[in-house]
């Protein structure tokens, strides 16, 4: 008796492509792409048959090709709803942008612009001029330069000012931030030599003074933006470091990390050092991020004395680290909000920080009504995040969805993330928590739909 060859039951690629679902995919995407996906799925089925599995129905194979297409061709980077209560959430893209910043980026990217063209002279210009006037007015700096992120700003500054020379820094400031990024590693890549002084918790001005040699190029302060030392601590002030740097003819570099142009104490938070305060205290160069408390697109902003900034502009790394036209336009539009004194109303990060608690509570109660069942509204804390103001929080109201016998908190959180667009919550003590503070009011309808879908039996 002859055994039937199971491979003969496999449909052909042409037969799969005749299905209306795959014809629709071919109309939306390249026909060659859909053919390749169909062949990949047939190969997967062929391997399964070789292991003894039965050949699936053609409808099941078509559905598998359709799923493969959605998984392969859907953009990996997708919009998401941040209901975690972490305002500057690094993993969710840090600072969301204002409508004006988005419009400016679209306008710059849609066509040509005077990115590096002097319209008055009719000749080549510099992309650095587009942010210069705004940052000078906001910070009081003599000159400014923006690169693609703050790690790049640190690398450029040290490469241009201290290559093959020493930079003195307190041991308590040798920080590691997200993704394993370490200040000592960046310093090593720049070619500067790290001279550690003091101890983890106490570093005095005399420690810096004793470490200065003929090879020393700069003193550096790094803001410990993602952790806090408490208890038996001591550190030299920026004013003291500036005096020592002037006395010994050294540069003073202040890496602020987050970068903040407004007074955080006005919102009940610990005062965050500002770039303008650093310059006033005597720093020669101040470095900070554009996409954290500033509320703009990713950038590393460098401000300081003209002779130093111009030296950085001429360094070869400045070209490798430069910002693109869309990011420059978005940052310029964000800075304009500060100049117009409208940052609290227009910049999402500051709108979230300054949001009234009663308004947050009203939204949380509306979410509770949509969730029904055992959902409650509880008191909680929204975190600043993004390596800014560690352990600092703002009072908020949270929608709490407790774990039940038939539904784990992890499963509910996963169902919320499976929504389109995904809603990302946080889980504490087997309870799913959603914070309206970090959700734009126009996104409430999405949260409500996600809740109903996730809680449906």
Domains of the chain: 11-73 (no CATH), 81-90+349-455 (3.90.1150.180), 99-346 (3.40.640.10)
| pLDDT over 90 (residue 321) | yes
Q: What is the distance in angstroms between the CA of the first residue and the CA of the last residue of the chain?
A: 51
Q: What angle do CA 263, 344, 78 make, to 5 degrees?
A: 115
Average pLDDT, the chain: 91
Q: pTM for the complete prediction?
A: 0.88
Determine the pLDDT at residue 328.
98
Determine the pLDDT at residue 180.
58
Q: By percentage, how much of the chain surpasses pLDDT 70?
A: 95
DSSP letter for 176, please.
E
Determine the pLDDT at residue 358.
97
Instruction: Give the count of beta carbons closer than 10 Å to the beta carbon of residue 231.
Output: 5
- What is the rounded average pLDDT of the residues 416-426? 95
Determine the pLDDT at residue 294.
97
Paired with 197 in beta bridges are 170
Check: CB of residue 298 under 8 Å from CB of residue 94. Answer: yes
| Separation of alpha carbons 132 and 144, rounded Å | 6
Determine the pLDDT at residue 142.
97
What is the number of H-type helices and E-type strands within the chain?
Answer: 19, 17
Check: CB of residue 331 under 8 Å from CB of residue 290. Answer: yes
Comparing 176 with 336, which gets the higher pLDDT? 336
pLDDT interval class at 229 (50, 70, 90): low
Check: CB of residue 157 under 8 Å from CB of residue 253. Answer: yes
Q: 55, 48, 53, 20: which is closest to 34 by C-alpha?
A: 20
Determine the pLDDT at residue 22.
87
pLDDT interval class at 232 (50, 70, 90): low
The enclosing H or E element of 195 equals strand 193-197
Distances (CA, A) of 198 to 209, 251, 391: 11, 20, 25
For the sheet containing 251-257, what is the strand order? 143-147, 300-304, 285-289, 251-257, 216-222, 166-170, 193-197
Backbone angles phi, psi at 291, to 5 degrees: -110, 20
Residue where the block lists tokens 């502009």:
313
pLDDT interval class at 227 (50, 70, 90): low
Determine the pLDDT at residue 355.
97
Q: 299, 302, 309, 304: which is closest to 331 by C-alpha?
A: 299
Q: Long-range pairs for 209-213 at CB < 8 Å and ≥24 separation?
A: 209/244, 209/248, 211/168, 212/168, 212/248, 212/250, 213/166
339: alpha, beta or left, given left = phi > 0 and alpha = psi -120 to 50?
alpha
Secondary structure E strands in 46-132: 81-82, 117-118, 123-124
- What is the rounded average pLDDT of the residues 417-431? 95
| pLDDT over 80 (residue 118) | yes
Comparing 16 with 325, which gets the higher pLDDT? 325
| Separation of alpha carbons 397 and 336, rounded Å | 32
Angle between helices 150-162 and 183-190 (to 10 degrees): 40
Alpha helices in 163-269 (DSSP H): 183-190, 205-211, 238-247
Determine the pLDDT at residue 177.
62
267-302 pLDDT, tens per residue?
989 888 899 999 999 999 999 999 999 999 999 999
| pLDDT over 80 (residue 235) | yes
374-402 pLDDT, tens per residue?
999 999 999 998 766 666 789 999 999 99
């Amino acid at each position: 008796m002859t055994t039937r060859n199971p491979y003969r039951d496999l449909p052909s690629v042409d037969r799969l492509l005749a299905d209306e679902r795959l014809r629709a995919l071919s109309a939306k995407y390249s026909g060659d792409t859909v053919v390749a996906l169909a062949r990949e799925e047939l190969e997967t089925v062929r391997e399964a048959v070789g292991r003894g599995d039965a050949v699936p129905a053609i409808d099941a194979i078509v559905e598998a090709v359709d799923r493969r297409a959605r998984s392969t061709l859907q953009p990996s980077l997708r919009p998401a709803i941040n209901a975690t209560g972490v305002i500057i959430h690094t993993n969710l893209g840090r600072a969301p942008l204002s409508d004006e910043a988005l419009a400016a980026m679209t306008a710059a990217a849609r066509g040509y612009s005077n990115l590096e063209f002097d319209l008055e002279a009719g000749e080549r210009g510099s992309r650095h001029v587009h942010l210069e006037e705004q940052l000078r007015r906001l910070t009081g700096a003599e000159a400014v330069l923006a690169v693609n992120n703050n790690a790049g700003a640190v690398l450029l500054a040290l490469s241009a000012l201290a290559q093959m020379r020493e930079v003195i820094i307190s041991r308590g400031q040798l920080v590691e931030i997200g993704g394993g990024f370490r200040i000592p590693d960046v310093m090593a890549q720049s070619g500067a030599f790290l001279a550690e002084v003091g101890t983890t918790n106490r570093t005095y001005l005399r420690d810096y003074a004793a470490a200065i040699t003929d090879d020393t190029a700069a003193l550096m302060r790094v803001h410990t933006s993602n952790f806090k030392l408490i208890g038996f601590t001591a550190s030299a002030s920026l004013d003291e470091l500036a005096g020592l740097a002037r006395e010994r003819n050294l540069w003073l570099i202040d890496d602020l990390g987050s970068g903040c142009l407004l007074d955080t104490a006005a919102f009940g938070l610990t005062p965050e050092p500002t770039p303008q305060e650093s310059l006033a205290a005597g720093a020669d160069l101040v470095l900070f991020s554009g996409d954290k408390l500033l509320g703009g697109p990713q950038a590393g902003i460098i401000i300081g004395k003209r002779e130093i900034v111009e030296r950085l502009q001429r360094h070869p790394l400045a070209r490798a680290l430069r910002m693109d036209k869309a990011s420059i336009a978005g940052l310029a539009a964000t800075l304009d909000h500060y100049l117009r004194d409208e940052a609290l109303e227009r910049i999402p990060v500051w709108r979230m920080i300054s949001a009234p608690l009663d308004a947050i509570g009203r939204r949380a109660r509306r979410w509770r009504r949509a969730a029904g069942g055992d959902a409650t509204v509880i008191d909680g804390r929204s975190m600043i995040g993004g390596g800014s103001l560690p352990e600092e929080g703002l009072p908020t109201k949270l929608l709490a969805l407790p774990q039940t016998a038939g539904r784990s908190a992890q499963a509910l959180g996963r169902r919320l993330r499976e929504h389109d667009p995904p809603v990302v919550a946080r889980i504490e003590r087997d309870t799913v928590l959603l914070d309206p503070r970090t959700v734009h009011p126009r996104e409430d309808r999405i949260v409500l739909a996600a809740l109903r879908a996730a809680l449906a039996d």
